[in-house]
Amino acid sequence: MRTVRTLRAAALAAALLSALTVAAAAPPPAAEVQLASSAQLVLEGRVERREIVLHVTRARGGAPIEGAGNLTAQLGGRTVPVTARGSAYVLSTQAFKGGAHTLQVVVAHDGIHELLSATVRLSKRPDRLAVLEKHGYAAWWVLNIVVLLLAARLIMRRKKPTPRAP
């Protein structure tokens, strides 16, 4: 019974530590900033982990420009697929490395097409080993201890072979 309690406590500690490690590794959401503007439009956006979220509004009145076909984009000279999500447009930055990139957005509105340009800075994505190093390998050690305790428990539960009669 004591071993079961120890295993449960170790598993709970491992789960809590891994949850804290994941929560600490996630960056806070970025604030939305004005990226570009023209006489008729304002382009605002924020860079998140693997995407850029854009909002296009009219300069007068602030009415949003919505719709799946109203916006096309290029990032660093390469066309990026745009997904409409409510009044926002989402660009995937999965294929891009960190650093400064030129964002060019063509917005279709009122029968015209307008080009808005901005420079966005994508953050470097840390690899998983760097995240573990940053948090001192604590989650790794807890996981190792839990595995060893489970292995010890399984070894203790094995039945001993019955001796054969001569």
- Residue 165 placed within a domain: no
Does 95 lie in the same domain as 20? no
Does 61 lie in the same domain as 108? yes
Rounded to the nearest 5°, which phi and psi values hold at 24?
-75, -25
Does 72 lie in the same domain as 48? yes
pLDDT value, residue 54: 92
pLDDT value, residue 23: 47
Strands (E) in the chain, as ranges, are: 33-37, 41-47, 51-58, 71-75, 78-80, 82-85, 88-92, 99-109, 112-122
- Residue 166 placed within a domain: no
Given a contact cutoff of 8 angstroms between Cβ atoms, the answer to whether 54 and 71 are in contact is yes
Rounded to the nearest 5°, which phi and psi values hold at 86?
70, -125
Given a contact cutoff of 8 angstroms between Cβ atoms, the answer to whether 146 and 139 are in contact is no
Q: CATH code at 76?
A: 2.60.40.10
List the chain residues with pLDDT less than 70: 1-4, 6-7, 10-30, 125-137, 159-161, 166
Q: What is the value of pTM for the model shown?
A: 0.58
Number of domains, the chain: 2
Given a contact cutoff of 8 angstroms between Cβ atoms, the answer to whether 38 and 114 are in contact is yes
Does 141 lie in the same domain as 82? no
pLDDT value, residue 116: 92
Per the structure, the complete domain to which residue 12 belongs is given by: 2-26+127-157
